[in-house]
């Protein structure tokens, strides 16, 4: 089952009759819902649990995973070094990964680890799903003008400012923001 369905967005928008029957409106609503989920994942990390493969540079026994939050390390192997004549056994090097996204290896190990990680959240916190709905509704409503005509390109509305996340959605997302390095 998907994180959110069109019926969830229709309910959030208080649309009479639920999901519109016109294909064009369904497509537009789905685009807005997909964009909202993608944007929230960009700042909070994956919402639904899934596997990703990463190449992690390790220095003195630790490396930082790019995708967060980490559920578990599925598998890992030490990437072969082009100049090395003997490969390092992975079991002797990789100890694991914590939920903060730090890969732990044998102390002193420096090299590259190819890791398959399970990332995301299960279950997805309801506040993040609500933030997706708020953002999708914001996107949908800003594309509509009086009389139900389309916004930019189909009406007189001109967008002069950049993209902004509504304050209500930003507040819901705040505890889940992905850590920044640097």
> Would you say the C-alpha torsion 50, 9, 134, 146 has a positive or negative sign?
positive
Within this chain, do residues 14 and 73 fall inside the same structural domain, yes or no? no
Q: Report residue 57 CA to chain centroid gap.
A: 22
Residue 140 domain-assigned (yes or no): yes
Q: Domain ends where: 102, 119, 136?
A: 119
Q: Which residues pair with 53 in a beta bridge?
A: 116
Q: Residue range 103-132: average pLDDT?
A: 93
Residue 16 domain-assigned (yes or no): yes
Within this chain, do residues 54 and 115 fall inside the same structural domain, yes or no? yes
Which is more confident, 151 or 123? 123
Q: Domain ends where: 119, 135, 168?
A: 119
Residue 86 domain-assigned (yes or no): yes
Question: Structural domain tally of the chain?
Answer: 2
Q: Give the position of tokens 């044998």.
A: 106
Percentage of the residues of the chain whose pLDDT score is greater than 90: 62
Residue 170 domain-assigned (yes or no): yes
Residue 97 domain-assigned (yes or no): yes
Parent domain of 143: 6-46+126-176
Instruction: Give the pLDDT band of residue 108 (cuts 50, 70, 90).
Output: confident
């Amino acid at each position: 089952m998907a994180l959110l369905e069109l019926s969830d967005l229709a309910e959030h928008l208080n649309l009479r009759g639920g999901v519109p029957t016109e294909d064009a409106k369904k497509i537009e609503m789905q685009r807005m819902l997909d964009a909202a989920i993608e944007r929230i994942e960009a700042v909070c990390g994956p919402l639904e649990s899934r596997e990703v493969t990463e190449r992690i540079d390790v220095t003195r026994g630790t490396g930082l995973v790019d995708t967060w939050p980490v559920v578990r390390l599925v598998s890992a192997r030490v990437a072969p070094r082009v100049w090395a004549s003997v490969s390092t056994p992975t079991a002797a090097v990789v100890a694991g990964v914590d939920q903060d996204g730090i890969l732990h290896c044998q102390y002193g190990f420096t090299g590259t680890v190819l890791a398959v990680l399970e990332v995301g959240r299960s279950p997805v916190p309801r506040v993040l799903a609500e933030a997706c709905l708020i953002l999708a509704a914001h996107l949908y409503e800003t594309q509509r003008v009086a009389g139900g005509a389309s916004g930019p390109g189909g009406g007189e509305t001109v967008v002069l400012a950049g993209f902004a996340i509504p304050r209500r959605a930003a507040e819901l997302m705040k505890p889940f923001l992905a850590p920044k390095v640097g």
